[in-house]
């Protein structure tokens, strides 16, 4: 696992990058909240003990300090990564560095809570097995 510090310029609130993802190393960003939007392909994201399947046109949040890995099983995915400078934002709103975003698939009216609850239940059981 490695620490990757996003290089913000002085007083720069955010950076936006377009990346081609095959597989990243396990890493975390101690200084940035990231929003990942999949522009092309299908992206798998493991954050802590949860795995998210992010399809084209969907997005998710990677919290500051969250250990994660990104990969694409079938093809190379093209993603837009918006990194928000948490250090600069704490100057304006102190509690922001303690806020954690909860990811849920956003598909408008097609959102299916039952499937998500099944996935969470399986993930929780797997987490318990890994702890034992």
The alpha carbon of residue 67 and the mean position of all alpha carbons in its chain are separated, in whole angstroms, by: 9
CB 41 within 8 Å of CB 77: yes
* Residue 95 pLDDT class (50, 70, 90 cuts): confident
To the nearest whole number, what is the mean pLDDT of the chain? 81
Taking every pair of Cα atoms in the chain, the longest distance, rounded to a whole number of angstroms, is 46
Residue 94 DSSP SS3? helix
Looking at residue 109, its pLDDT comes to 44
107-117 pLDDT, tens digit per residue, is 544 555 566 66
CB 88 within 8 Å of CB 82: no
pTM of the predicted structure, to 2 decimals: 0.71
Q: Return the CATH fold of 2-103.
A: Jelly Rolls (2.60.120)
Domain extents in the chain? 2-103
């Amino acid at each position: 696992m490695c620490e990757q510090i996003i290089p913000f310029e002085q007083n720069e609130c955010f950076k936006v990058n377009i990346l081609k993802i095959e597989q990243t190393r396990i890493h975390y960003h101690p200084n940035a909240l990231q929003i990942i939007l999949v522009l092309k392909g299908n992206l798998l994201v493991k954050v802590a003990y949860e795995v998210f399947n992010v399809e084209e046109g969907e997005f998710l949040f990677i919290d500051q300090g969250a250990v994660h890995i990104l990969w694409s099983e079938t093809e190379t995915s093209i993603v837009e990564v918006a990194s928000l400078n948490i250090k600069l934002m704490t100057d304006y709103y102190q509690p922001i560095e303690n806020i954690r975003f909860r990811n849920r698939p956003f598909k408008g009216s097609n959102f299916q809570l039952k499937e998500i609850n099944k996935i969470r239940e399986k993930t929780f059981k797997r987490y318990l097995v890994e702890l034992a």
